[in-house]
Every structure is written in structure tokens, then in C-alpha cells.
């Protein structure tokens, strides 16, 4: 009986460790390596874990409004950088520098967000230097 309990404990421990490892990080391979710049109106902001989201309405070259989904780091990481739920509100106009999705759909992995007051923040959590041309 003791040997059987030990096997169950070892199996459960392995399962927990593997589940945590898999959940801890995922690849950003679905985004291109280069940045693109967008400007638009914030429609929604969701500061959540494991990834926060900004939904941005952007005017395309044809004059049509398009909604973009912008993925950011976790709420906890953003809060450590001073970004709270009051930082952006629906209706705010912002500029973003992000990595677009490889499939061409309207999604990006956020790099930097520039608000109307001129402040620029790294929403990817990589602590990269603010671009000089932002």
C-alpha cells in the first residue's frame, strides 16, 4: 500500500510541475518580428492575467474603421510598471507600436503605447528603451 501511495504522489507531482511549465509561457511565433505603428481610439481595455488586451478602432487607408486586438503582458506586470485601470479609458486616442499577426488578421503583440499626453510605456513588459521616434 505504501509503494502504491508513493507512486500516486510522484505522478501527481509530475503532473502539476508539467502543467505549470506549459502554462508559464507560450510562443509569440504567430507574430512577425518587425514593428508596425497604429493610431486609433480605445474601445475596450482588459487588464487581466495571463495577458491583458486593448481593443482599438483604427481608420484604414480606405477610410473604414477596423477593430484591432492588441495583446499585452499580464495585469500584475503592467501594475508593476505603474499602468493601472485608470491609465487608458474607452474613447482615448493612442498610438501603438506592435508586432502584427503573421496571418494578416487585425491583431498585434503590443510593444509601446503612447497616450495623448505624450507618455510612452512598454506594454510587453520587456523593459526595452522607449524608441526615440515614438
pLDDT tens digits for range 63-97: 999 999 999 999 999 999 999 999 999 999 999 99
pLDDT band at 1 (very low <50, low <70, confident <90, very high): low
Q: Give the start-end residues of each E strand in the chain.
A: 36-46, 53-59, 65-71, 93-100, 107-114, 120-122
Rg (CA), the chain: 19
Domain annotation for the chain: domains and CATH numbers: 36-122 (2.40.50.140)
Distance CA 56, CA 42 (A): 5
pLDDT digits (tens, 9 = 90+) for 21-32: 334 445 567 899
Instruction: Supply 87's cell numbers.
Output: 491609465
Q: Is the pLDDT of residue 11 over 50?
A: no
pLDDT at 13: 41
Amino acid at each position: 500500500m505504501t509503494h502504491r501511495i508513493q507512486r500516486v504522489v510522484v505522478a501527481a507531482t509530475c503532473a502539476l510541475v508539467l502543467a505549470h511549465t506549459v502554462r508559464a509561457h507560450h510562443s509569440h511565433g504567430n507574430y512577425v518580428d518587425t514593428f508596425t505603428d497604429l493610431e486609433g481610439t480605445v474601445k475596450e481595455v482588459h487588464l487581466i492575467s495571463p495577458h491583458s488586451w486593448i481593443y482599438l478602432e483604427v481608420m484604414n487607408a480606405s477610410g473604414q474603421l477596423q477593430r484591432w486586438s492588441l495583446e499585452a503582458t499580464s495585469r500584475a506586470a503592467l501594475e508593476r510598471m505603474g499602468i493601472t485601470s485608470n491609465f487608458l479609458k474607452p474613447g482615448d486616442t493612442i498610438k501603438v507600436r506592435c508586432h502584427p499577426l503573421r496571418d494578416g488578421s487585425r491583431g498585434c503583440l503590443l510593444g509601446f503605447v503612447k497616450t495623448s499626453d505624450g507618455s510612452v510605456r512598454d506594454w510587453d513588459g520587456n523593459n526595452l528603451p522607449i524608441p526615440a521616434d515614438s
